Amino acid sequence: MSLGFKLYSFFNGNLVHKDSLGNKYYHEKNNISKRWVVYAPGFGPESLPTQFHNWLHNTSDEIPIIEFEESNQESLVKKRVQKHTVKHKENNDKGYNSWQPK
């Protein structure tokens, strides 16, 4: 995260919530419908609980208060990331000979 974004968050944002992973959720001081998150080091969008995702995208105006144990939440994030990773075949044998131009 850039220094400019940290300064913007400090001067223009109100800290709404900080979850157990360290993600910080803000809304703008003058416009509460403008919302953003500052991810904890080593985490990204996959670390957001569904309720906060909905809050960030203005689907819900209620600020969710969800507290997980840090180890439990980290394991959920790892499962979510693992679910969406592409598994590559170790063996490149396709079972057929592909056509090669001459």
| DSSP H or E run through 13 | strand 13-18
pLDDT digits (tens, 9 = 90+) for 43-58: 888 888 888 888 899 8
Q: CB–CB of 72/19 below 8 Å?
A: no
- Could you tell me if residue 99 is inside a domain? no
pTM: 0.66
DSSP state of 79: H
Residue 30's pLDDT band (cuts 50, 70, 90): very high
- Could you tell me if residue 62 is inside a domain? yes
Q: CB–CB of 53/66 below 8 Å?
A: no
Q: Which domain holds residue 13?
A: 3-84
Nearest CA-CA partner of 8 in 40, 34, 43: 34
- Could you tell me if residue 58 is inside a domain? yes
- In the chain, how many domains are there? 1
Identify the bridge partners of residue 36 per DSSP, sorted by sequence position. 26
pLDDT digits (tens, 9 = 90+) for 56-88: 998 888 877 766 555 566 666 666 666 556 555
